[in-house]
Amino acid sequence: MTALNQTVIVGGGLAGANAAFELRKLGYDGRLTIVGEEDAWPYERPPMSKAYLRGEEPIDKAYVRPPADYEANAVELLRGTRATAIDLARHRLSTTAGEIPFDALVIATGATPRRLDVPGAELDGVLYLRDVADADALRSAAEAAESIAVIGGGWIGAEVAASLRQLGHSVAMITSQTRPLEHVLGPEIAEVYRQVHVEHGVRLVSGRVEALEGSHRVAGVLVADGHRVAADLVVVGVGALPRIDLAAGAGLRLEGDAILVDQFLRTSAPGIYAVGDAATAFSPRYGRAVHLEHWDNAIRQGQTVAANILGSEVPYDRVPYLYSDQYDLGMEYRGLALDWDEVVVRGDLRARHFHAFWLNDGRVSAAMNVNLWDDGDALQELVESEATVDRVRLADSNVALAEAA
């Protein structure tokens, strides 16, 4: 066991909590402190746009671990406490509750919603969704709203639009492209999402937002072609920005808007690591730095960093994984396809029971299963193998996935 007397984790979210409990699981017996800015037990964020937002599940269903586990595992959780500075030379973390020494420090500060930069963005009635307080505020505001505009056609925008429609609200979704999620999935698969939103009564508007209108409170959204979408509540979902102020203030190396870490999740300073939404990690699998803001990434990086703090050298090379639920359309996505040569579909797009494969040079860069739940392992193996596939056999539902390579 590596001789560590005190490990401090900045960030009381999914990545930070998983790092803490994995350290205990692996036998770490030193002092272990989580500094969490929210006055809440660590929880998972996906329900904030899904079941919790809709009021179907209480917040404790989203907890990473039951509250009793923290005392049972000697994990000190400082809730409602903000980290303000890192002293690299002295290995001290300054917080609003005082100074904390550390032998190892994990930065798991997450991300914050990207702000809409147009005239009127500061009007009342313009909301963002990231944490439980945001979800509570949105649910309450939606109850009093006559018409809601969701700006953004990515995962958050699409999931929020779906949840608000399921609650019975009037919803328009404004996207910069023709279809929601088109920039991620391509037009053919994104068309499935366009259709399901239209069928459930979402009004889809394509165009760049130029301004929000209103005197004190938002009354509408002006789109680039001059079209006006009436709305007395606007939800903005146009991406997120890693929270890097703490790292930047300490002079840690950054990559774009995130904290750069190596394949072992180490920052440029000895004894300091970064994980989750705040980090961009070098991936041995992809041969470059990769930034992910996924639920699975937070869990897995938290577990990996714990092993590496204790002296292992475990490279983080997991194939990315994400999931999304919108109405009765559920999916899982494995891999990383930033561009592709073609998309191969196996199954029935119209029935919304299918697999989709994004190919580059005849290899599967990413695979998605939609409302089919038995082939996850086979899809994972297909992506991980990087084998050349026969696209005709890949599209044939009568051919086993393992035989398509």
What does the pLDDT read at residue 226? 85
What does the pLDDT read at residue 340? 96
What's the CA gap between 88 and 271, in Å, rounded? 9
Q: Catalogue the long-range contacts made by 263-271 (C-beta closer than 8 Å, 24 or more residues apart).
A: 263/315, 263/316, 263/317, 264/308, 264/313, 264/314, 264/315, 264/316, 265/301, 265/304, 265/305, 265/308, 265/316, 266/308, 267/107, 269/88, 271/91, 271/102, 271/103, 271/104, 271/105
Task: Answer whether residue 191 shows pLDDT above 80.
Answer: yes
Does this model's pTM top 0.85? My answer is yes
Q: Which CATH architecture has domain 328-403?
A: 2-Layer Sandwich (3.30)
What does the pLDDT read at residue 1? 41
41, burial (CB in 10 Å: exposed 0-12, middle 13-18, buried 19+) = buried
Q: Are 47 and 57 in contact (CB under 8 A)?
A: yes
Q: In the CATH scheme, what is the code of domain 118-236? A: 3.50.50.60
Percent of the chain whose predicted confidence (pLDDT) is above 70: 100
Q: Hey, which residues does 150 pair with through a beta bridge?
A: 173, 235
241: helix, strand or coil: strand
DSSP letters, 301-344, are HHHHHHHHHTT------PPPEEEEEETTEEEEEEE--SS-SEEE
DSSP letters, 33-72, are EEE-SSSS--B-SGGGGTTTTTTSS-GGGGBSS-THHHHH
Q: What is the mean pLDDT of the chain?
A: 97
Q: Hey, which residues does 334 pair with through a beta bridge?
A: 321, 367
Q: Hey, which residues does 367 pair with through a beta bridge?
A: 334, 357
- Residue holding tokens 């193996």? 381
Q: Are 376 and 393 in contact (CB under 8 A)?
A: no
Q: What angle do CA 124, 127, 129 make, to 5 degrees?
A: 165
What does the pLDDT read at residue 3? 73
Task: Answer whether residue 179 shows pLDDT above 90.
Answer: yes
Mean pLDDT of 206-225: 96
Mean pLDDT of 118-133: 98
Structure confidence at residue 402 as a pLDDT band (50, 70, 90): confident
Q: What is the pLDDT of residues 46-60, one digit of tens each?
A: 999 999 999 999 999
Task: Answer whether residue 2 shows pLDDT above 60.
Answer: no
Q: What is the pLDDT of residues 74-112, one digit of tens each?
A: 999 999 999 999 999 999 999 999 999 999 999 999 999
Q: Are 70 and 61 in contact (CB under 8 A)?
A: no
What is the residue type of 59? Answer: I
What CATH class is the domain 6-112+240-309? alpha beta
The number of helix segments (H) and strand segments (E) in the chain equals: 10, 27
What does the pLDDT read at residue 80? 97
Structure confidence at residue 405 as a pLDDT band (50, 70, 90): confident
| CATH 3.30.390.30 residue window(s) in the chain | 328-403
| CATH 3.50.50.60 residue window(s) in the chain | 6-112+240-309, 118-236
